[in-house]
Structure 1
């Protein structure tokens, strides 16, 4: 708990009263989709109470902002009561009376109250809960939908682009109990004409994939991982083969491309230029031939790019392996999107380094990696201004909150990944996008194969 001295040192809220002045802040501990605690926050203004909840990752980058956990035995150390306490004390004291419509001032005040570069004192999960809830209150104050409010905050004049969904239909890595090293395999309906059509394609391929997997491996192999995808006992190429087979059976082979989230920081061999694709196996059964050097990994990526319609690869190398990141961008980056997640952690400092070193060409936008809406907008604008793509992303530990759907439209990211079309915390985001599409009507645009460069450049 923060000392009274620190609490007294935070900037006091202005005495000026606004129509959307924050009159109440209430944090609580709720449960995420993996059965772990997370932070939820209510912000109250004269217009009502606005609630937001914070996601959490399983495969997390070393440079992400601090997610404050309690430790100890309760919830196996994953409790967030201290973060909630910080919401209800020092951060509440900081934002009370502030204008909910002034997102930047609220976020800056909380960051100053924390006083550390990585939000170690109060926790990024505490700050983000208030930041998200305030954004909803700000949208209400402005009398606009949340996606429009995010667009206004970022200076996007035409928030009319629906994102292309990257459906994570096969789970591996830290998201599943199979032996598969790569964490996510995407079906991407780049050939659809509308977002609604993309959803139909994704759902139909997903159901056909279930039948393909069941026929090959039996019913047990159709159990799902953390993000709703199946977790069959396959390797990388047989997984990709099944995506192709399911797409063909669904009648959509000509309308889909595929993508991968390798999450390779999870299986980098410490101190060596090596990656252990059999990292889940120990003892005598371990296959040492599956440990590849950086150059061998690039050769493998090139071989599957030649064989399958791969258009995006996320985290192909470890978060500190800058040399191999630059090599793969040089080798395939013109035709394939190379997405920085653990490398860039939605942090403008890391993004700038990757821009200078030509180590990626797309940002994975995860607001809980940086800890506030304002900083997330900064990260997106920096990326867009340098010609990068932006993929809005959920986390493996999610809640029913659907704000990332609004963020994807408001910031014109052009692409989103939020799991398979399965599990309520995943479909909540897809359903919100369907609602936004309905509101936009004929003005709604679907970028298709142009997902890397949607119109607004920030």
Structure 2
């Protein structure tokens, strides 16, 4: 081929490549313009959105590992932490962890050897729980979806039942050879003890006490390691919320209401403990265990907490020893001593703070702590019954003297169950700003609970805490000895499962009861408990005082939830109205009899139980 022909051919080839290049460039430009029109995002954002879109079709996260470990609670005692790991898009990822609270049954005035034995039992229980989580539960729950709460809780319940049966079988084998020896050795001791009592007291008086005072029910045994069940259930609920990208309180609410997405939620009223009256100390008053403050409905939670903090500061000033009490001029002056010395006055040290985060004081009579509280509020320009309400935890079951057959409310002062009812009626009439009594009587005094319910049920909440300690038993045992009352304090402890709480609070809602979520004495720094109370729709939450980190953490979480709900306009105001008790007697020994449902037409409009409504946040 001639040189001129080759040049012409090369020129045509270059022209075709150039045309193809610009044709491709126009296509890319058009494609980019189309993508920018459809998805006005930067390339990185677009590909991120594309990845998120296709991730919806990927395999749902499943549990790949549970990790249990021994940690310390708020008072330095061992308890259980459970971590949940899930397989997310083929990668193992730590999702969350929870720390269980340990419910101690050791009396405050227990003997040193009793305390030592209980500490050993607690340590063994936590060690066993760690073993269960890391071995059996880790294997059993692997590859399950954390959002399948009810399925997982059912498996946990079956595992616990199996362990209970194994324990019973072991005890049966151990007790059979010793049964005869135990019966023979115990009988003389009982006779001897009875003889000593009769020698010390008139025989007739003891006989009357035995006929009229029902004996205390035996303490419910706790299976060693049962913390693993509650810890695993709560950790998986938290993991399910994390996987679903929703707050835990909303996740719990959706579980309770069959995934119906409500539009509003109410916050529980806080029962803030301000005073512990040292009922086991040499002080005279034994009846009052806690004096609590409840803010009114017109205040937000934040406003209520701020007022309670002001009352606490004033109470600390009033409780200062007389030799150290500042003069009124100094207390009322903004400059005070700091003005004279040129230095800022140091804050008073928090002295005598209980393990539940409240002030400790001794009192001589029942009226004294109430008048003290009234004085503190008056000094701040607050009126009890309008700007703040009181609740009293009587814990009367700790006061029964079974020899006398009466309650020792003051040192050396005894009252029969009937006299206790009369005393409470006079107390509420004299101090109408008391709107709740917790455990005013033992759970065994059922007739007196009926009497006090008829007398005070329309004036204040009558709440049982002692009788509702074991949620799983409440749920399954139709003969549980629950007295007639306004509501119950529920605690998330031991083998309690999230589904147990959901089922029981639903039952209580249906019976027009109020639910109070209560914090155990051995509290942990985990704030998951607050989300439970909000999601379950509890009327009150009982967290202790506004001191100690493990308590304050929970109040901070409650404040954060209030802020979040208010921001999303999903916060509904609660109410403090009382539901009157039916006067007619009800059959005993039924959970449905804790508070008989009032007639529908007699319910105030605001008390009818609407469906809990919340939209996704």
TM-score normalised over the length of structure 1: 0.83
- TM-superposed deviation, 1:272: 6.0
Is residue 130–residue 228 contact of structure 2 (8 Å, CA) maintained in 1?
yes
Displacement of 1:74: 10
- Gap runs ≥5 in structure 2: 1-57, 108-114, 166-219, 326-348, 580-606, 613-617
Equivalent position SS for 2:576: helix
Partner of 2:571: 444
The structural deviation recorded for 1:243 is 1.4
Note closer, same or farther for the CA distance 1:208–1:20 as it changes in structure 2 (3 Å cut): farther
The counterpart of 1:113, out of the listed 159, 164, 167, is 159
Q: Alpha carbons of 1:237 and 1:143: their partners in 2 closer, same or farther (altered >3 Å)?
A: same
2:314 match: 208
C-alpha displacement at 1:353, in angstroms?
Answer: 6.0
How far apart are the structure 2 equivalents of 1:251 and 1:310? Answer: 19
| C-alpha distance in structure 2 between counterparts of 1:382 and 1:105, whole Å | 20
Shift of 1:23: 0.9
TM-superposed CA distance for 1:295, in Å, is: 1.1
Q: 1:78 aligns with which of 95, 109, 122?
A: 122
In structure 2, relative to structure 1, the CA distance for the partners of 1:369 and 1:90 (3 Å cut) is: closer
Counterpart-to-counterpart distance in 2, 1:206 and 1:425: 18
Change (3 A) 1:75 1:59: closer
Conservation of the 8 A alpha-carbon contact between 2:425 and 2:456 = yes
Partner SS state of residue 313, structure 1 = strand
Counterpart Cα distance in 2 of 1:431 and 1:175: 31
Residue equivalent to 2:234:
132
C-alpha distance 51-444 of structure 1, shift in aligned 2 (>3 A)? same
Deviation of 1:198 after TM superposition, in Å, equals 1.3
Q: 1:146 to 1:123 in 2, by over 3 A?
A: same
Deviates more, 1:114-123 or 1:156-165: 114-123
Residue aligning to 2:523: 398
Determine if the alignment matches structure 1 residue 435 to structure 2 residue 560: yes
Q: What residue in structure 1 maps to residue 596 of structure 2?
A: none
In 1, distance between residues paired with 2:608 and 2:560? 20
* Counterpart residue number, 1:40: 81
Counterpart contact for 2:471–2:491, Cα < 8 Å? no
Cα distance between partner residues in 2 of 1:340 and 1:226: 22
Q: Which of residues 353, 358, 376 is equivalent to 1:224? A: 353
| Residue in structure 2 matching 1:150, options 252, 263, 285 | 252
Residue 50 of structure 1, CA deviation: 1.0
Q: CA deviation at 1:344?
A: 2.4
Contact 1:214 1:221 in 2 (8 A): no
- Per-residue CA shift, 1:187-213, capped at 9, x if unaligned? 111254211111112211111111122
- Deviating more after overlay: 163-172 vs 354-363: 354-363
C-alpha separation in 2, matches of 1:350 and 1:73: 28
Indicate which of 333, 340, 344 corresponds to 2:464.
340
Report whether the alignment pairs 1:317 with 2:464.
no
Deviation, 1:124, is 2.9
Matching of residue 243 in structure 1 with residue 373 in structure 2 = yes
Alignment match, 1:93: 139
8 Å contact kept, 2:290–2:392: yes
Residue 422 of structure 1, CA deviation: 1.3
Instruction: Name the counterpart of 1:277.
Output: 409
Return the alpha-carbon distance in structure 2 between the equivalents of residues 389 and 353 of structure 1.
Answer: 19
| 1:19/1:141 contact within 8 Å kept | no
Check whether the contact 2:84–2:239 (CA below 8 A) recurs between aligned residues: yes
The reply on whether 1:161 has 2:266 as its aligned counterpart is yes
Quick check: which has more Rg, 1 or 2?
2
Deviations 1:373-404 (A, max 9, x none): 11011111111110011111111111111112
State how far apart, in whole Å, the 1-side matches of 2:521 and 2:481 are: 30
TM-score scaled by structure 2? Answer: 0.63
| Worse overlay, 80-89 or 345-354 | 345-354
CA 398–102 in structure 1, closer or farther in 2 if over 3 Å, else same? same
Per-residue CA shift, 1:248-301, capped at 9, x if unaligned?
2233323111001111222222376421224xxxxxxxx32x221101111221
Task: Find the aligned partners of 1:379 and 1:169 in 2 and give their Cα distance.
Answer: 29
State the shift of 1:180 in Å: 4.4
Matching residue of 1:281: none
Could you say what the CA RMSD is over the residues aligned between the two structures, in angstroms? 3.1
Distance 1:159 1:445, change over 3 A: closer
Q: 1:227 to 1:122 in 2, by over 3 A?
A: closer
> Could you say which residue in structure 1 is the equivalent of 2:400?
268
Paired position in structure 1 for 2:71 = 30
Q: Compute the displacement of 1:164 (Å).
A: 1.2
Residue of structure 2 in register with 1:301 after alignment: 424
| 1:247-262 pair list within 5 angstroms | 247-253=377-383, 254-262=386-394
Question: 1:44-69 CA deviation, whole Å, 9 max, x = no partner?
Answer: 113533111111234589xxxxxxxx
SS at match of 1:255: coil
Match status 1:418 vs 2:550: no
In structure 1, distance between residues paired with 2:522 and 2:159: 27
How much has 1:314 moved relative to structure 2? 0.9
- 3-state DSSP class of the match of 1:319? coil
Task: Name which of 187, 190, 193 aligns with 2:293.
Answer: 187
The CA distance in 2 between the partners of 1:35 and 1:106, in whole Å, is 31
Deviations 1:309-357 (A, max 9, x none): 1111111112333232222222211221111211122537647869997
